[in-house]
Structure 1
């Protein structure tokens, strides 16, 4: 458990951890490339390590160091055992598509209790449209998932755009194996588009090209057939999702901090956290590769469309508690499909601290109370809730006990140490 007490001020220079999204995609692309790739500044978090370990089961040779992963890719082989991806939904979804391209046999993918509840049916349905055989062993659209090796026999696949972008990423990374050019057609408006832009960006570095379909009555993506993944040296940029907790701490507390390794021109959607706090009234300084914050600032509630930034919702919920007036989060139905139902979880747990939060079908209405009280909080094995609630606890009167602290290893393994380094009054017990 994590014990958090009121923190009077924070000061120092710290780096945002490497991007989880970029690390996942880079290690999988490198494993599909015939040759040696060097991945610099990877995230050594549990989820990304799950991707690396799974890629080894498909034939890649990977040497893991703290600041560099050396990946020698090869042709996909049939795994010798069940592929257990732990708690990593990204790994499960991307490799469900990729595993269809082994030379022969079957792949079985599964994970922990949480993963075995995550929806997979939209992706399974999409892969079946391509002529591939895949199914849930429980016949309910959840892991364990069985995928048979097979040839892609259709060149058009339709899928909803308003559920998980990871389904579409899986298709983008699988369809280059097709002999023919392919199209991914979106049947509903797209959400979380920045994550797909990250996928396109990483694929491009590894020699795979993805185009957009932008016609009057049709939207989606086009993929050339018979493309080949090529090895490269690739540097992983810092993660804005993880940096959001540092930003929130800086604007809410008496602070003087510099957050390094965050880039102004990043394709990450969660860079929007900077614009959000500026709109709320925080005059933060944005440079090419860092952000400087001298808080606290008097914040005002705003309305925030989270279509493309679902991972920022816990951070926004905490900011809203200390803002004047109402902060409205909307277009966030897909936020319920993460490690847990984050809309329900933020409402239930922050309310224990005295927050005024109303849960809506697609979002939250947070009325600022400016003062929270310490409480014992559940985090539902969700790393983002641990980190967001930590910031709330640093501003609350009394002591806050946060359960499930170890889940931060998924995306920000040294979160506690970094927060303590700038003066946060927190301790693991």
Structure 2
């Protein structure tokens, strides 16, 4: 794919309303639960983006029928009669770590041999914790390259149930994958985990969705859940809430330009952890107002630096980093070492790109220290590093710093294909 360059124009003060796409995290989980269900499911307001299309394509290879209706903004999923059809070709998952990790759990619920692979970057993203957990539960696996990394061949005759403890310090998706698959085991599953868990709100999201669908589970301790099995997922009629991660860039735009952005539909009861970014922006000087269908963010007269443990909301680090670059004082972002195994090494990449703006930044093993102040126009384009969150975050910085261009702007298609169209609205006030 040839890289596109997007030039960003500065604006004095944004003032607009942005309609948000469906949540990527919820869409992924709804797709898997629908494929495991015992009948036809309808998913409403699904996110149709690169990552979710990869998950849907994988489910097709496994025998599910997947039909997108763009007019009605719905997605129909008909599960196969038997789990699963053995694909004739490898299941290719691009650079979607979510797809890889969650599908490893899903393939284990059926019978067959399955080869999962992806891009060069995906082959650098670890999957060893979920593989070891599946091995404990009777699943055979074989990494075809570097041990603990894709490509991986799974050979399954179904999850036998039992007790397992997983290390989810690099990704909560290892734990979510087991939880989603657990009702389909042959006997009760007892799933434990070690601390810390990266991005634990995503585990809570998984459990909330399972609960909505009637899946029973019981907390045995603060770090162990029992899931009775077998249970049947019912056919879904599921409304996907708007994506708070996508909203974050527009909330940051209000903060940086001292303007005002209304995003909808989103509610204070959102099950997405990234909604907590609003609390962070409030601490930095913004005003947050919840309205009937969405939330309004107003930037304050000045932005204050922040010292923050972001383990629960790591995807928001690039967004907070560009806001911190324009805040008064020194900001410290902590406890996000697992960002190094995302679509890019996000700690290194954020630091490298901020340096182009002459922003003093120090890269730590698990975070960043950013000296706020006046970011200067960069002499070279910002590189997206094929990372959607880098492209979108630095586009927002371009609203207040002249001369910003994003190299590899097409990376936004991974989670927010209409980002650039919506971004244009920020300059139309």
Could you tell me the TM-score, scaled by structure 1's length?
0.94
For 1:122 and 1:50, the matched residues in 2 are separated by 22
Aligned to 2:381: 376
Contact 1:124 1:135 (C-alpha < 8 Å) held by counterparts: no
Structure 1 pair 24–408 and aligned structure 2 pair: CA distance change class (3 A): same
Q: Kindly provide the CA deviation profile for residues 151-200 of structure 1, in whole angstroms up to 9, marking residues without a partner as x.
A: 43451111113221111111112222222211111123323111011111
1:235 — aligned with what? Answer: 239
Indicate whether 1:340 and 2:347 are aligned.
Answer: no
- CA deviations over 1:291-339 (Å, ceiling 9, x no partner): 1133353111111111110100000101101111111111111111211
Distance 2:34 2:140 in 1: 25
Instruction: Quote the residue 2:138 is aligned against.
Output: 131
2:277 to 267, 273, 280: 273
Alignment of 1:2-401 (within 5 A): 2-66=6-70, 67-74=73-80, 75-77=82-84, 78-103=86-111, 105-153=112-160, 155-214=162-221, 219-374=223-378, 375-397=380-402, 399-401=403-405
Is 1:376–1:400's contact at 8 Å kept on the other side of the alignment?
yes
Q: SS where residue 197 of structure 2 aligns?
A: coil
In structure 2, distance between residues paired with 1:294 and 1:270: 18
SS of equivalent to 1:90: helix
Q: Separation in 2 of the partners of 1:314 and 1:210?
A: 35
- State how far apart, in whole Å, the 2-side matches of 1:422 and 1:68 are: 28
Quote how far apart the aligned CAs of 1:9 are. 2.8
Q: CA, structure 1 residues 210+411, in 2 after alignment: closer, same or farther (shift >3 Å)?
A: farther
**CA distance in 2 between partners of 1:370 and 1:211 (Å):** 51
Residues 80 and 207 of structure 1: is their aligned pair in 2 closer, same or farther, counting only changes over 3 Å? Answer: farther
Contact 2:188 2:229 in 1 (8 A): yes
How well do the aligned residues superpose, as a CA RMSD in angstroms? 1.7
Deviates more, 1:367-376 or 1:406-415: 367-376
Give the Cα separation in 2 of the matches to 1:295 and 1:188: 36
Q: 1:58, 1:418 → 2: CA distance? A: 35
Match of 1:422 in 2: 426
In 2, Cα distance between equivalents of 1:213 and 1:323: 44
Structure 1 residue 410 displacement after superposition: 1.1
Q: Distance in 1 between matches of 2:343 and 2:155?
A: 27
Of 164-173 and 76-85, the range deviating more from structure 2:
76-85
Q: Distance in 2 between matches of 1:54 and 1:164?
A: 21
What is the Cα deviation at residue 210 of structure 1?
3.4
8 Å CA contact retained: 1:280, 1:300 = yes
User: How many Å apart are 1:58 and its aligned residue?
Assistant: 1.3
Equivalent position SS for 2:164 = strand
Equivalent residues of 1:211, 1:222 under 8 A apart: yes
| Cα shift at 1:288 | 4.9
Give the whole-Å Cα distance in 2 for the aligned partners of 1:311 and 1:288.
27
**Secondary structure in 2 matching 1:9:** coil
By how many angstroms is 1:92 displaced? 0.8
Structure 1 range deviating more: 154-163 or 412-421: 154-163
CA contact (8 A) 1:172 1:210 kept: no
CA contact (8 A) 1:6 1:393 kept: yes
Alignment deviations for residues 275-298 of structure 1 (CA, whole Å, 9 cap, x no partner): 001011111222353111333531
Deviates more, 1:163-172 or 1:251-260: 251-260
Gaps of 5+ in 2: none
CA distance in 1, matches of 2:389, 2:428: 18
CA deviation digits over 1:178-229, x for unaligned, max 9? 22211111123323111011111222233323333326xxx22221111111
Unaligned runs of 5+ in 1: none
TM-score by length of 2: 0.94
The count of aligned residue pairs is 420
SS at match of 2:208: helix
